[in-house]
A and B are shown apart, each in its own frame.
Chain A
Amino acid sequence: LAKTTQPISMDSYEGQEVNITCSHNNIATNDYITWYQQFPSQGPRFIIQGYKTKVTNEVASLFIPADRKSSTLSLPRVSLSDTAVYYCLVGDGAGRRALTFGSGTRLQVQP
Chain B
Amino acid sequence: DTGVSQDPRHKITKRGQNVTFRCDPISEHNRLYWYRQTLGQGPEFLTYFQNEAQLEKSRLLSDRFSAERPKGSFSTLEIQRTEQGDSAMYLCASSPVEKASGMYEQYFGPGTRLTVT
Task: Write the residues of chain A forming the contact surface with B, with a CB cutoff of 8 angstroms.
Answer: 32, 34, 41-46, 49, 51, 85, 87, 89, 91, 93, 96-104
Contacts and interface: CB of A to CB of B under 8 A. Distances in A.
B72 to A, nearest CB: 15
Contact of B42 (A42, A49, A87): A87
A104 B102 CA distance: 21
Given A45-B108, A102-B42, A103-B41, 19 more contacts: A32-B102, A41-B111, A41-B113, A42-B108, A42-B110, A43-B109, A44-B43, A46-B105, A49-B105, A51-B102, A85-B42, A89-B103, A91-B102, A91-B103, A97-B50, A98-B35, A98-B58, A99-B45, A101-B42
A43 B45 CA distance: 13
Nearest to A8: B40
Interface string B83-116: 0000001011100000001110111111101000
Interface of B: 4, 31, 33, 35, 40-45, 48, 50, 55-56, 58, 89, 91-93, 101-103, 105-111, 113
B42 A46 contact: no
A83 to B, nearest CB: 16
A42 B33 CA distance: 16
Contacts of B33: 97-99
A97 B42 contact: no
A45 B93 CA distance: 10
Chain A at the B interface: mostly helix, strand, loop or mixed?
loop
A49 B109 contact: no
A93 B48 contact: no
Nearest to B33: A98
- Of B50, B55, B106, B107, chain A has the most CB atoms within 10 Å of the CB of B106
Nearest to B43: A101
Contacts of A43: 4, 91-93, 108-111
A61 B79 CA distance: 40
